[in-house]
């Protein structure tokens, strides 16, 4: 079972956002080549894991475009200095506030399931510090992302423009409710678990659009699920992998 977004996170003190920001805005030029090698090694591990989980996911290989995006976006720049040595390990990393930066393999799998195309409008719930939004932007998507934890969103607001991803649009709020102002979306990436497909997100998804969402109760079982909205409004769902995500942190759901 793959764990993500907040599950098993190690608590960080209240200054976590400040540490994240301090570590994110500058990378020594001399270290750039070494970091590129580390990113390439991370992608190599992701490729091996795609092969190993092909029977469960139905995806035998990592898409070349997705691989290139993960080679380009510096995951270490979204982390405080104390965690940078672990930036390219295939593991979730704690961001504080009960949240994790997702395991690279899981982030790559979700991205490939979503299959964002250049110019498509993509909505993301759970921005955290903005790493996955950067990946989506690198793939050419027009990204709209919502995060409920303001200190984490504050990091994303600084780091994304500093890395050249200033076109990503960010908002503080409850991702369960979507961002109706910019709907409809070609694709929606949900990074919190839910017992149901959030009705607001379904309304904001275009006919013919895709949604990737962990469906299931907070304590499991949950499955990473691809939802496709047919032209007539009917839904087609396909389970891909058992996972464990934390639920939405907004108001009570009925």
pLDDT tens, residue by residue, 125-160: 999 999 999 999 999 999 999 999 999 999 999 999
> What is the C-alpha separation between 10 and 171, in angstroms, rounded?
26
pTM of whole model > 0.85?
Answer: yes
Give SS3 for 80.
coil
Question: For helices 104-114 and 131-138, what crossing angle results, to 10°?
Answer: 40
Cβ atoms within 10 A of the Cβ of 110, count?
A: 24
**3-class DSSP assignment, residue 185:** strand
Task: Look at residue 253 and tell me if it is in a domain.
Answer: no
The answer to whether residue 249 is domain-embedded is: no
Q: Which residue, among 179, 95, 97, 98, has the nearest Cα to 131 in the 3D structure?
A: 95
Tokens 């790559």 map to which residue? 108
Number of domains in the chain: 1
Q: For residue 131, is it within any domain?
A: yes
Q: Is residue 20 part of a domain?
A: yes
Whether residue 254 lies inside any domain: the answer is: no
Pairing of β 93-96 and β 205-215 = unpaired
Question: Residue 5 above 60 pLDDT?
Answer: no
Is 251 domain-assigned? no
**What pLDDT digit, counting tens, does each position of 168-222 carry?**
999 999 999 999 999 999 999 999 999 999 999 999 999 999 999 999 998 889 9
Q: Which helix (H) or strand (E) holds 152?
A: helix 150-162
In this structure, is residue 175 part of a structural domain? Answer: yes
Domain membership of residue 151 as a residue range: 2-244
Q: Has residue 79 been placed in a domain?
A: yes
For position 67, which CATH number holds?
A: 3.40.50.150
Q: How far is CA 59 from CA 101, 137, 253, in A?
A: 23, 22, 33
């Amino acid at each position: 079972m793959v764990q993500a977004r907040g599950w098993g996170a190690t608590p960080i003190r209240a200054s976590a956002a400040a540490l994240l920001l301090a570590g994110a805005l500058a990378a020594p030029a001399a270290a750039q080549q070494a970091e590129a090698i580390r990113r390439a090694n991370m992608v190599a591990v992701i490729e091996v894991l795609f092969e190993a989980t092909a029977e469960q996911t139905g995806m035998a290989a990592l898409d070349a475009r997705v691989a290139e995006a993960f080679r380009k976006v510096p995951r270490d720049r979204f982390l405080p200095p104390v965690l940078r040595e672990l930036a390219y390990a295939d593991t979730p990393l704690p961001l504080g506030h009960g949240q994790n930066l997702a395991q690279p393999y899981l982030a790559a799998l979700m991205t490939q399931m979503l299959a964002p195309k250049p110019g498509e409008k993509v909505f993301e719930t759970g921005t955290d510090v903005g790493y996955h939004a950067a990946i989506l932007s690198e793939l050419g998507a027009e990204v709209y992302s919502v995060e409920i934890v303001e200190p984490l969103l504050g990091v994303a607001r600084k780091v994304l423009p500093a890395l050249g991803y200033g076109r990503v649009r960010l908002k503080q709020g409850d991702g369960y409710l979507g961002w109706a102002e910019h709907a409809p979306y070609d694709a929606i990436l949900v990074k919190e678990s839910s017992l149901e497909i959030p009705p607001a997100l379904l309304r904001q998804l275009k006919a013919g659009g895709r949604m990737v969402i962990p469906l299931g109760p907070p304590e499991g079982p949950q499955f990473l699920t691809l939802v496709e909205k047919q032209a007539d409004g009917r839904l087609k769902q396909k389970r891909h992998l058992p996972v464990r995500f934390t639920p939405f942190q907004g108001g009570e759901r009925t």
